Amino acid sequence: MTDLPTAPALAWGAATDTGRVRTENEDAFVALPMVYGVADGMGGHAAGEIASAIAAGTLRDRLGAGAESVDVVVAAVVEANAAIFQGAHSNVAQRGMGTTLTAMVVLADDTGQRRLAMVNVGDSRTYVMRAGRLRRVTIDHSYVQELVSTGHITEAEARSHPRRNIVTRALGIEPNVRVDTWVLPLVQGDRYVLCSDGLVDEVDDAEILELLLANATPQDAADALVASANEHGGRDNVTVVVVDVLEGDESPSAAVDLDVDLEWDDVQPDRLIDAEAGSAPAMLGDAAAATAVVPVTAAAARRRPGLGALLFGLAVGVIGMLTIVFVLVDRHNADNEPAPTTTTVTSAPSTTSPSTTAPSTTVPSTTAPSATTVTSSTPTPTGP
């Protein structure tokens, strides 16, 4: 069995604020030597803050001492999802609650090497700043992210898009949840930023980088980022956790790109979930959702057809083949029917010799208007 990792040389700071518009803070965070995370609750004050608190509490309880593998980290997220889902369905006041989650956990392999496991569900984000460059580690599970990915809107437009509150994945909405994961090395000098969408909806990446470079300590950086979000409007709760790696692998050349990309998961369509209080979730493709959002055709094209679609296509194909067979059989039978014939019968003068005339049949004439109908008669034989 692998020993749990020892605490690496990390420094961190955290800040959270209700913002300038909201009256309650539904965000939650965890900042411990071995685990860091931000959760953005949804479903209203009575439920959103409970969902985010469950997620943060599960991370503290299950991952406070680090983890042996990514599977252990994912299991903790799945446990949080189940707890939130059960609470939402057992308490009417908490119906519809859910939360996003982005988190970072210290790992140790069999050799004792320490690394960082990243997990993400929803549109809270994790960034890393290395060698003066800021890169986004996570991919938002949101409607506007799909619009950005397919070129329909820009990053700047996404921050003010009327549907920016629509997420496509969250904890507590379904009994099962898909979790994005990454494993990154501990690189000396790296600075990580974990935040709710209350930051990124107000502050663009260029300004985030500027504030990170201008503030030496993680706590100062976290405070400055929260303050900037409020200065730009503070439309939502905002939470930021900043983590500095003080010891670790030597930083690679600034020319080396960060390999932190992740492909979209094509297993099944995600739900469209309205993060605003009291809003009911809708399935992607529902009539209500279709009237409210613009179709993302490029994203939909990447998804593999489901079993139902395949069976439907097969049924249509069989029906089409049977229709063709019936038409061909019908034409074949029509070609083999005998053509109608026309028969004309004329009467002959009687003779004196005895004769017997067979009963005749009335034959309709279809072409000759002068056709005659002959009625049979039996002549009386003459004597010698």
Burial class (CB in 10 A: 0-12, 13-18, 19+), 309: exposed
pLDDT at 161 over 50: yes
Mean per-residue pLDDT for 240-259?
Answer: 80
Q: How many other CB atoms are found less than 10 A from the CB of residue 333?
A: 9
Tally the C-alpha atoms within 13 A of residue 56's C-alpha that lie toward its C-beta: 21
Contact at 8 Å (CB) between 277 and 48? yes
> Comparing 79 with 261, which gets the higher pLDDT?
79
pLDDT-above-70 percentage for the chain: 70
pLDDT at 46 over 80: no
> Tokens 């529902």 label which residue?
286
The per-residue pLDDT for range 82-140, each reduced to its tens digit, is 999 999 999 888 888 999 999 999 998 777 788 999 999 999 999 999 999 999 999 99
CA distance 5 to 37: 18
Would you place residue 186 in the very low, low, confident or very high pLDDT band (cuts 50, 70, 90)?
very high
pLDDT at 367 over 60: no
Tally the C-alpha atoms within 13 A of residue 136's C-alpha that lie toward its C-beta: 17
Query: Which residue, 47, 164, 49, is CA-closest to 39?
Result: 49
Mean per-residue pLDDT for 353-369?
Answer: 43
| pLDDT at res. 275 | 54
| Cα dihedral across residues 102, 106, 108, 114: positive or negative | positive
| pLDDT at res. 74 | 97
Q: What is the pTM of this model?
A: 0.69
Least confident of 206-220, 222-236, 310-324: 310-324
| pLDDT at res. 305 | 45
The per-residue pLDDT for range 281-340, each reduced to its tens digit, is 443 333 233 223 333 333 333 334 455 666 777 777 888 888 887 778 777 776 665 555
User: Homologous superfamily of 10-303 in CATH?
Assistant: PPM-type phosphatase domain (3.60.40.10)
CA distance 38 to 103: 6
| pLDDT at res. 317 | 81
Contacts of 1 (CB under 8 A, 6+ apart): 68
Strands 166-167 and 35-42: unpaired
CA angle 92, 195, 25 (to 5 degrees): 40
